[in-house]
Copies of this chain bind each other. A is one copy, B any other.
C-alpha cells in the first residue's frame, strides 16, 4: 500500500468531479472492500439488509444530520443516481406534493427556477419537459461575467405570485462549470410570504459540507456525492417530511406518473432500502462524514475552504495582466470552483495558447485537471473539501512561477 499512497502524495488533483478523496478514507475503504467488520466478506458483498450494512447506513444518516443540523421533520434519503436524476425527481415529487397539499387546485401551478449557470439551466430544461408550467424567475448568466451589470437580487426576481401556489423554487447553490456560488443565506432575501409558502429546493451537489446551510429554510436539499464526499452513483436528498407523499394517492391533471425508483416516499418509508442502494458510495460517504465530524464539522470545512479559495483568488488577482476571473462579482465567486482565463499580456484577450501552456506547466508539477469544462474552455481549479490548504499553497506557488515566466 505504501507505493500507492506515495504516488498520491506527489499528486494534486484539482478536478471538478469526480474529484479527489481523502487518502485515509480510501485506505480504509480498500480494506473494507476485501473484509468488512472482520466478516470475511467485503462491504459490497454483504446483503444491503444485513445488520452490518444497516448499521452503516444509519451511521451515515446520523452523522450527516449532525453535520448539517438536519431537524427531525426532515427525511434523509440515500438514492441511486446523481444530480441529473434529481433534476427530474425533485420536480416530479414536488408536483405530487403540490397536488396532495392543494386538493381543489384549479389550473396548472407554476414551478419557479433561478438560472445561474449550466446546471440550474439543465434542471430548468428538465422541468420544462416534465411540468406543465415553468417560470424562470431570473437568468443571471449574462451578468455573471460582466462587472457592469449587477446580479439581480431575490427581491427583484420575477417570482410567481403566492396566490398561484407555486410548486417550488429551484436554485443551484454552486455552479460547478461557471464557478458561481450564491452568498450564504442569499435565498433568505426572498419575500417572507413566498418563503413561508413555497418550498425552496437547492441543488448543493458541488458545495455541500463546505459551508453551513440552513436546512429549515428549504423544502429540500439534494446533492450527488461525487464532488465533496465520495464516489459517483449516489444522490442524497434531505426533504421536509410533509412534502413526501404517495404520488399515486392523489393525482391531478398536472402530475405525471413517477417511476418507482424516483418516488421519495418509497425511499423514506423503506429507510433508503426500497431496492438495492449503491453500497460502495454510501460506505465511502459514511467514512467521510465520520472523519469530518472529528475534524471540526462543517465549520472546520468552511474555514479551510475560505483559506484555500482566498489563496487562489489572491494569487490570480495579483497578476491582472495575465489572469482574468470569469465571475466578475466578488461576492458570487465560488469557494469550490475557481474559473479564470489566461490573457495575452499584450492584447489582454484570452490566449488559448497560454492556457494550454499553463495546463502543461501544472502537469509538470503534478497538478492535474485544471482545464475548464469542455463547454466553456478556459481554466478551472476545484478546491473541494479533500484538497488541503497545503495543496492550494503549492498551486499558488506554481501560479506565481508561471506569471514570472510569462509576463
Contact = CB atoms under 8 A, between A and B. Distances in A.
Interface of A: 1, 3-5, 7-8, 10-11, 13, 15-21, 23, 26-27, 29-31, 33-35, 38-42, 44-49, 80-85, 87-89, 92, 126, 129-130, 224, 226, 230-234, 248, 256-257, 259-262, 274-281, 284, 366, 368-369, 374
A44 B30 contact: no
Nearest to A277: B232
Contacts of A29: 33
A26 B33 contact: yes
Stoichiometry, copies per complex = 2
A87 B130 CA distance: 20
Given A34-B1, A80-B233, A15 B47 contact: yes
Contact of A280 (B5, B19, B84, B231): B231
B233 A280 contact: yes
Contacts of A81: 80-81, 85, 261
18 contacts: A4-B34, A7-B38, A7-B39, A8-B41, A13-B40, A16-B47, A17-B47, A18-B44, A18-B45, A26-B34, A47-B369, A81-B85, A85-B261, A129-B257, A129-B260, A130-B257, A231-B279, A231-B280
A18 B40 contact: no
Given A4-B35, A85-B259, A233-B233, 12 more contacts: A4-B31, A4-B34, A5-B34, A13-B40, A13-B41, A20-B41, A21-B44, A27-B34, A44-B232, A49-B374, A233-B234, A280-B281
